[in-house]
Amino acid sequence: MARAETSLLPLVQSYFQQHLRRVRGASDHTIRAYRDGLRLFFIYASHELRCPLADLRLEQLRVDLVLGFLNQLEATRRNGPATRNCRLAAIRGFVSHLLRQDLSRADQYRQILAIPAKRAQTRPPVYLEPDDVRAVLAQPDLRTATGARDLALLLFLYNTGARISEALSVCADDLHLARPRQVRLHGKANKDRICPLWNETARAIQRLIEINEPTERPIFRNVYGAALTRDGAAYVLDKYVRRAAETRPSLRHRRITPHVLRHSCAVALLQSGVDLTVIRDYLGHVSVATTGRYVSSNLKMKRDVLNVFWRRTGLDRQAHRRWRPTAGVLEFLASL
């Protein structure tokens, strides 16, 4: 690209429409996250440089401007390190695109790319124990079409560990409800994976399909026949969690989202003794390190591992039997 071209708009458009969507195959969720991060940065830059946003130029995108934006996120917006790092990732992605298109400003872009992410404390994933999940699954009223849909959705999320975006995009063509019962999930970066289905999940989905005419549209729909949204799914889950909390105090004052069912699936698989690499493929993780964090969060698994470790050491002392005199010994002493 010639140095004379300094307008942001063409490069922003090519970054989102060509690079993210076509080259990287980014999901809609990733697109929205990067969009929001860059939008905040451009608004900040326009305010700091005192120029209309449409007049921003490439030479103005310097490392001190980016650092000022990151500081503002923490100081003014009260964002934590994790959010700061997400915004920085959006900027880095865009600047990497600029570097590929505009080598004349390579040093300027490399200074931005060298900004380190901030260390953030990794929070253990929130999950539900199986007893809590069963209590939630017992709440939908199967006498209604809405209840049948809700049970199918909750069972599907817990059975497959699918991301909510993956679950809500499932169509009838993705399902195989006869043996072997399975579903094809369309994951991140356009990567598909096959997940097996429980008999109960397959029956619940089959009933849902019989209620709603099978079409090319997603199987999970709202009362108007349109595809169920992320907010709609979150509302459905929250409603049944609040009902279950009336008899399960452990559910009170907890924020349970559809992604918590994904975590709950992963932990249940680990507790069942499934290998980490199998769970990685089951959940569609890129790295087994992502899957491994579920082990560190589960205290029961740590205790079980510790007990097995203790038994294998052979350090457990044998219980000593208390000596009790026999009748023969007493007779012997009496004879002395």
Supply the residues annotated as catalytic: 163, 188, 259, 262
Burial (CB < 10 A; 0-12, 13-18, 19+), residue 199, is exposed
DSSP string, 258-324: HHHHHHHHHHHHHHTT--HHHHHHHHT-S-HHHHHHHHHH-HHHHHHHHHHHHHHHT-PPPPPPPP-
Which tokens go with 29? 């969720």
Long-range Cβ contact pairs of 277-281 (< 8 A, separation 24 or more): 281/193
Cβ neighbours of residue 31 closer than 8 Å, sequence gap 6 or more: 16, 20, 21
Which tokens go with 264? 């709950």
Q: Pick from 189, 23, 43: which is nearest to 101 by CA? A: 23
| Three-state SS at 221 | strand
72-81 burial code (b ≥16 CB/10 A, e <16): bbeeeeebee
Number of C-alpha atoms within 13 angstroms, CB side, residue 102? 23
Give the type of residue at 184: R
Cα separation, 174 vs 19, in Å, equals 28
